[in-house]
Structure 1
Amino acid sequence: MKINTAIALLFLPLVIISCKKDEKKPVENPPTITKDSVQTVKTEEEIDFKNFNIFNISTIQRNELMDSFISVSDIYHDKQAVPIEFLKKQKEVPFSNMGHVELDNQYRKKLLNGSHIAESDTLYLYNYGANKLQKIPVNKLKTVAYLSPYTTEGEEIDSDSYMVGFQIDNQKSMDIFDKYTNSLAYFGNRNPFVENKMKMIKWEKAGNDVQKKYFSGSKLKYGGIYQSKYDNLTYYVQDLLEEYGTQERKLVVINEHNEKVFEKTFINDDGVEFYPLEKTENDDVNYSAQWTGILFKGKAPVVFNFSSASFGCPMITFIDKDKTELEIKCDNRH
C-alpha cells in the first residue's frame, strides 16, 4: 500500500494568562522516575513505527568518480527489477557497461509499489554527527540499479545481481564518502528524526567498584571497564575476554537515582568484530565511535555502533525495557 501524504493544519489556541501582583503559582511535584524508564522526546509529530525502515547511504565508484545511492533491495524483492532488454546485452558489451542502469518509468513504478514509497514522499537524510537534515522529494530522485560488487566478470548476471534504489549524487569527487558518514535515510511523508540530540560517546576508564557492583560473576577474563554520561543517564561497559580477544561486551545504563534502567550483552558471533572503546587522538573523525541520544520522535534514547559485522546489517538499540532493536538496511551481500 502506498503511503499517502497527509497535510495537517494545526491551529494553536492563544492562552491568555493574567495574574495579580504578589500572586504565586503552586509548585508542582516533579514526576517520579520509575525503574526501567528513561526520558523520551514527546512531540505532536510522533511517527508510526509500524513497517518503519531506515537505510544507509552507499558510495559507488563509476568512471573514476563517485555516485551516492540508497539501495532498497532489502525490502524490494521483485525478480524482474531490472529491464530484461538490458540484461540480454551482457554477452554483447564489456562487463563494465553492465555496472549501472537508470530505470525507466515502468520499472520505477514497480520499485515504488514494491517498496511502498510514493512519488509524493520525501527522502530525509539525517547526518546525526554534523546535525544536518537534508530533504529531497522522491519525484526528484532517479531510480537506478548498480551491479553488486560481489558479482565478478564471467558470471551470469540476472536481476538479483543488482542493488536497486535511488541515486542521490551523480559523478562527484572521491571526498563524497565523508559526506554521508554517520548518516541515515528515511522515505516517508514526515520527518522521523529528532535533531541535535545525538552525542558521540567518549569513554573514560571506570573503577573496580563499578565492576564489582554491576558485572560480577562472569567466568570469562575481565578486560577494560569504561563509563560515560548522557543527560541523566550513566553508561558502563565491561569487556570480557577469551584467548583471542573480547568475547562479550556488557552494557549497563543507570539513571540519576542509581537505578539500573537497561542492560544488554553484545556477543562476538561469527563475523563480528568489536570496535575499541579507548579514546583516539582525534575523536571528531573516529568512524568506529559509539553514538547515543534521542534519534527518533516519540521514542526512547538509542545506542549503537559497538561492533562491525561481516554478515547482516548494523542494529540500533533502544534504551527501553523491551530492548527494542531497529536494523539499518544496508544490502549486505556477504
Structure 2
Amino acid sequence: MKRNTALVLLLLQLTAISCKKDDKKPVQNQQNVPSDSIKTAAKTEDEVDFKNFNIFNVSTVQRNELMDSFISVSDIYTDPKSVPEDLLKKQKELPFDKLSYFELDEQYRQKMLTGIHITENDSLYLYNYGANKLQKFPVRQLKAVAYLSPYVSEGEEIDAGSYMLGFQMDSQKSMNIFDKYANAIAYFGNKNPFVENKMKMIKWEKASTDVQKKYFFGSKLRYGGTYQAKYDNLTYYVQDLLEEYGTHERKLVVINDRNEKIFEKIFSMDDGAEFNPLERMENDEAHYYAQWTGHLFKGKAPVVFGFISPSFGCPVITFLDKDKTVLNINCDNRH
C-alpha cells in the first residue's frame, strides 16, 4: 500500500506544555490566597466573554513539495457530514492528490462557520507573543480548506473524520515558514482578546538551598535543580524532582511581593510527554522549548506555560488564579 508521503503535518506546538496531567487544576492554599494577591489585567470595554472561548495554534502541511500553513478547527468541529458526500462516495475514482486537499464550497464553508459559532463578519486575531505582533484578518477573506490527515494512506477508506478542516494562512511557501508561527496563537471572534506587549520569556536562575527547604520539602523523590525568576510583583520558584532516569515531576510555586504563596502546581509526564529544559537550547532561535509568562488575555490574571512537550493531546495554558485554571490550545494532534 502506497503511503501518503506528500502530506506531513508539522504541528507548531506552543513551546510545548503538558499533556493529560497538565489538565488538572492546580493545588491552591485557599487560606493563603488574598483577593488582591495577583495583579489582573485591567478590565476594558473590549473585555472578551470567556464562555465557549477557543484558541488555536497554526499548523504547517507539506503539499507538492512546498508548505501550506493553516488553522485547524477540527478539535471543536466534529460534524460527521463536514465534507461533500459525493466526494466520499467517489473516492475510489478520484486521484489521491484530489482527495488530499480541497477548498470547501460555500455550502460546507457556511456549515463549518455555524459549527464553530462564528460568522463572516468576525475576524481572526493572530497574536505572536514572542515578537509582540498582532494581526487581524476578516473571516470573509479567509480560504476554508480540508487537508487529509497524514496518517491516512492511499487506498484506505476515507470518511469526514479523516480530514483536518480550517482556514488557510499561507499557500506553497518554503520550509522557512515553520518558524513563522512558533510563538503564535489564534482566536476567531468580534473582539481582540489579547493583551499586547505583556508576555515575557522566563529566564531562570539557580535558587538557593533555602528556597528548596522552605517551599519544596517533604518529597520522596530525589531533589534536582531549584530555579527562580520574576515577573511584575511575582516571584516564580521551580523544583525538579528526579527518579532514576531523570526528572519525574516539576513543581511550580508563585510568591507575591508580600512573600505569600498564592499559587502552586505539579507538572508530571504522561503518555510520552517530555519536560522542556529550563535553559535555552543552542540553535533554538524560535524558543520552541522556552517557558513564557505574563498577561495574555484582557481582564484575566497572568498565565504561564511551556514546561512540558506533549506527545498526545495539545498544549495547555495555566492561569495564575482560581477562576480559569487551564485553557487548552486546539492543535488537532492526531497521534
What TM-score do the two structures reach when normalised by structure 1? 0.87
Q: Percent identity?
A: 74
Larger radius of gyration: 1
Deviation at 1:85, TM superposition (A): 2.1
Name the SS of the counterpart of 1:118 in structure 2.
coil
Deviation at 1:323, TM superposition (A): 6.4
Q: Is the 8 A contact 1:36 1:260 kept in 2?
A: no
- Matched AA of 2:93: E
Other-structure match for 1:30 = none
Distance 2:249 2:60 in 1: 32
- Matched AA of 1:165: G
Distance 2:139 2:177 in 1: 21
Structure-2 change in CA distance of 1:323 and 1:204 (3 Å) = farther
Other-structure match for 1:38 = 38
Name the SS of the counterpart of 2:178 in structure 1.
helix
Distance 2:130 2:334 in 1: 27
Q: Is the 8 A contact 2:280 2:287 kept in 1?
A: no
Deviation at 1:153, TM superposition (A): 2.1
Other-structure match for 1:65 = 66
Deviation at 1:256, TM superposition (A): 1.1
Deviation at 1:179, TM superposition (A): 1.0
Higher RCO, 1 vs 2 (CA within 8 Å, ≥6 residues apart): 2
Q: Is the 8 A contact 2:54 2:187 kept in 1?
A: yes
Distance 2:181 2:292 in 1: 16
CA deviation string 1:143-168 (max 9, x = no partner): 11001111122211111100011111
Deviation at 1:282, TM superposition (A): 6.0
Deviation at 1:92, TM superposition (A): 2.2
Deviation at 1:306, TM superposition (A): 0.5
Q: How does 1:162-177 map to 2 (within 5 A)?
A: 162-177=163-178
Structure-2 change in CA distance of 1:51 and 1:289 (3 Å) = same
Other-structure match for 1:201 = 202
Distance 1:37 1:96 in 2: 56
Distance 1:173 1:283 in 2: 19
Q: How does 1:106-255 map to 2 (within 5 A)?
A: 106-255=107-256
Other-structure match for 1:302 = 303
Name the SS of the counterpart of 2:278 in structure 1.
coil
Distance 1:174 1:121 in 2: 30
Deviation at 1:310, TM superposition (A): 1.2
- Matched AA of 1:119: E
Q: Is the 8 A contact 2:101 2:146 kept in 1?
A: yes
Deviation at 1:89, TM superposition (A): 3.5
Name the SS of the counterpart of 1:119 in structure 2.
coil
Structure-2 change in CA distance of 1:314 and 1:69 (3 Å) = same
